[in-house]
Amino acid sequence: MPTREPLARLVRRLEEAGSLGERERQAVLSLRLQPRLVPARADIGVEQDPQAAHLVLRGVACRYHMLSDGTRSIVGLFFPGDLCGGHSASPAKHHGSLGALSPSLVADVPFRTLEALIGDHPGIGRALWWLALVELGIAQQWLANGGLEAERRIAHIVCEILARSEATGMAAVDAFSGGIRQGVIADLAAVCLVHVNRVLHALQDAGLIRLERGVVKVPKPSRLAAYADFDAGYLHLAGRAATEPGSKVSLSCETGRARIRASAGGSGPGARPGSVDDARPCQGHRGWR
- CATH domain 4-145 topology: Jelly Rolls (2.60.120)
What percentage of the chain carries pLDDT values higher than 70? 72
Q: Is the pLDDT of residue 123 over 60?
A: yes
Higher-pLDDT residue of 41, 284: 41
**3 state SS for 72-107:** EEEEEEECCCCEECCCCCCCCCCCCEEEECCCEEEE
Strand partners, 62: 77, 99
Q: What is the mean pLDDT of residues 142-170?
A: 90
Q: What is the pLDDT of residue 140?
A: 96
Examine the pLDDT at 29 and tell me if it is beyond 60: yes
In a 10 Å sphere around its CB, with 0-12 CB exposed, 13-18 middle and 19+ buried, how is residue 246 labelled?
Answer: exposed
Largest Cα–Cα separation, the chain: 61
Binned at pLDDT 50, 70 and 90, residue 35 comes out as: very high
115: left (phi over 0), alpha (psi -120 to 50) or beta: alpha
CA 172, CA 179: separation in Å to the nearest integer? 11
Mean pLDDT, the chain, rounded, equals 79
Whether pLDDT at 137 is above 50: yes
pLDDT at residue 175 is higher than 50: no
DSSP per-residue codes, 106-153? EEEEEHHHHHHHHHH-HHHHHHHHHHHHHHHHHHHHHHHHTTS-HHHH
Q: How far apart are CA 263 and CA 218, in angstroms?
A: 21
Neighbours of 96 (CB within 10 A): 19
Mean pLDDT of 23-37: 93
- Per-residue pLDDT averaged across 20-32, rounded? 93
What residues does 289 pair with on adjacent strands?
Answer: none
